Structure 1
Amino acid sequence: MPGGRWRVVRAGEGSDRRPLEDRIADIITDEALTVGAAFPSASVLAARFGVSRPTVTKALNRLEAAGLLAGGGQGKVRTVRAVPNREERS
């Protein structure tokens, strides 16, 4: 299909169709990260979600703009600024 996006989903695997920034924000609550805790790097998240590092960086920038993450930048560790409530993001 012209202009369409294709995604390979292997048999037996579920597909999470939420935006990447929502799935990344879930890491804060799923791993019980507290305010000030170090957040995984873009490279680690890219491997975890199977997407490119620039795609992860864009999602992380959106989370910084939303106030969930702080820091970042070249050579700096991002930290958790706020713990999201699942109700707030839905």
Structure 2
Amino acid sequence: MAEQLTDVITNDQLAVGAAFPSTSKLCARFGVSRPTVAKALDKLQAAGLLSEGKQGKPRTVLSLPKRKESANT
């Protein structure tokens, strides 16, 4: 689940400082329970990708995930 949420940053083209989708929106999007999403969000926070979630304030993107891109030559 954490990997899927990391992909949200890339797929939704979220920039550093952008608001991350709410837990309820992520539950609906992936069809999983709130505790499952919460654990994955905690992993992304621990990895430094997202800010801490606080009541009434959305999580924000702190850094972009590192992806291995194929070189275009």
What displacement does 1:71 show? 2.7
Tell me how far apart the structure 1 counterparts of residues 55 and 35 of structure 2 sit (CA, whole Å). Answer: 13
How many residues are paired up? 68
What displacement does 1:75 show? 1.9
1:82 paired to 2:63: yes
Partner deviation per Cα, 1:45-89 (whole Å, 9 max, x = no partner): 0011010011101100110000000131222210000011223xx
Tell me the equivalent position of 2:48.
Answer: 67
Letter in 2 for 1:39: F
TM-score (norm 2): 0.87
Tell me how far apart the structure 2 counterparts of residues 86 and 22 of structure 1 sit (CA, whole Å). Answer: 12
Q: Which runs of 4+ in 1 moved over 3 A?
A: none
Letter in 1 for 2:34: R
Tell me how far apart the structure 2 counterparts of residues 74 and 59 of structure 1 sit (CA, whole Å). Answer: 18
> Identity over aligned residues, as a percent?
60
Unaligned runs of 5+ in 2: 69-73
Tell me how far apart the structure 2 counterparts of residues 50 and 25 of structure 1 sit (CA, whole Å). Answer: 16
C-alpha RMSD over aligned residues = 0.9
